[in-house]
Structure 1
Amino acid sequence: MTRMILATWLLVLMVAAPVSAEPHWPDQGWQVTPTSLAYDDLLEALREAVEAEGMFVVTEAGPTEAAANRGITLPGNRVVGVFRNDYAVRILRLSVPAMIEAPMRFYVTENDDGSATLSWKTPTHLLEPYVDAAGKELETVGRELDALFAAIAQRATEESK
């Protein structure tokens, strides 16, 4: 009986526990762009921007819908994996271990006021641990991807400016 009460109490705490209202983003390697766009609008704008910049959405994952199926309410939260095969081939030729970083991801999060934030780890930050072994060409690939990710973010958030 005590275990059942404890389990019920833990479930209540998990359902009632708020998500941090103001996330604290890491200082290094991240780009964070608050917008005035609603979560669903930013997510759609991101998908369109990815395509417009010649990249592809290859994965999407988020806990919001699955949590709702369990009776837990979370703000919108989606990780969108973005990549392109020519970059995969280039990275693999330079460093097999570096390919674990693909697809590189954007993160769309819903804010308390209904707006959304677009954030991502920069490709140069993700690839940096592999540059010493792979060579400076991997750094060049990272800078190219940095420019593409910045262009995608600019295009996705331009309505909010």
Structure 2
Amino acid sequence: MRAMRRLSGALALMLAMLLAVPAAAESRWPEQGWRVMPTSLAYPELLGALREAVKAEGMFVVTEAGPTEAAANRGITLPGNRVVGVFRNDYAVRILRLSVPAMIEAPMRFYVTEQGDGTGTLAWKTPSHLLAPYLDEADDELATIADELDTRFAAIAARVLEAAP
């Protein structure tokens, strides 16, 4: 009987956690340093448009990670969720020459999330926000790099929006 109560308690906890996932997905985004763009693209289309836009803007997808597929392999359904790391080696070299600690911010990432209606949202922390803590130790060139990367990331996002119907 005691084992049955533990099992039902564990099942209730798991159900509560699963029901909390959609609420977490709808949570408010931080305002400072973030850009968040809801799109009319379906989540998989948004991922494809992002990959194409990154390439078109002369950058590279260097990492991708997300819990959705791994959770599905465990029988758990989550909305689409993918972090896409974007960078380029010449930026890495330039940043390293100015600030070794600043390289922890590379690759800089786009975050693609699926909404309840199946559409995707594109979000990212701006490169200038990510590099701001390192500006005191580096010369003005690091701020210039941050501005260049802000421009590239905004151009990538603009290309993604152009792909929307």
Under TM normalisation by the shorter chain, which class is it?
Answer: over 0.9
Hey, what's the Cα distance between the residues in 2 that align with 1:130 and 1:102?
Answer: 13
Corresponding residue to 2:137 among 130, 133, 138: 133
Q: 1:8 maps to what in 2? A: 11
Is 1:74 matched up with 2:61?
no
Shift of 1:5: 4.4
Contact 1:39 1:76 in 2 (8 A): yes
1:101 aligns with 2:105: yes
Do the aligned partners of residues 137 and 123 (structure 1) sit closer, same or farther apart at CA in structure 2, a change above 3 Å counting? same
Number of residue pairs matched? 161
Pick from 147, 151, 163 the counterpart of residue 143 of structure 1.
147
| TM-score (norm: length of structure 2) | 0.91
Equivalences for 1:86-97 in 2 at 5 Å?
Answer: 86-97=90-101
Task: Give the secondary structure class of the aligned counterpart of 1:26.
Answer: coil
Structure 1 residues not aligned, in runs of 5+: none
CA distance in 1, matches of 2:152, 2:128: 12
2:123 aligned partner: 119
Gaps of 5+ in 2: none
3-state SS in 2 of match to 1:134: coil
> Could you report, residue by residue, the CA deviation over 1:118-148 in whole angstroms, capped at 9, with x for unpaired residues?
1100000000000011121111100000000
Selected match of 1:153 from 131, 138, 157: 157
Task: Tell me how far apart the structure 2 counterparts of residues 7 and 32 of structure 1 sit (CA, whole Å).
Answer: 36
Q: Is the 8 A contact 1:15 1:71 kept in 2?
A: no
The CA deviation string for residues 51-78 of structure 1, in whole angstroms up to 9 with x for no partner, is 1111000000011111112221111110
Alpha-carbon separation, structure 2, partners of 1:8 and 1:37: 35
Q: Helix, strand or coil: the match of 2:137?
A: helix
Distance 2:6 2:91 in 1: 52
Q: TM-score with structure 1 length normalisation? A: 0.93
The one-letter code sitting in structure 1 at the alignment partner of 2:60 is F
Q: Distance in 2 between matches of 1:114 and 1:145?
A: 30
Query: Are 1:81 and 1:105, in contact at CA under 8 Å, matched by a contact in 2?
Result: yes
Matched residue SS, 1:17: helix
Following superposition, the deviation at residue 4 of structure 1 comes to 4.3
CA displacement, residues 19-60 of structure 1 (integer Å, 9 cap, x when unaligned)? 225331111101111110000001000000101111000000
Please name the residue that 1:19 is paired with: 22
Q: Aligned partner of 1:57: which letter?
A: V
CA distance in 2, matches of 1:75, 1:102: 26
Is 1:59 aligned to residue 44 of structure 2?
Answer: no
Determine helix, strand or coil for the equivalent of 2:31. coil
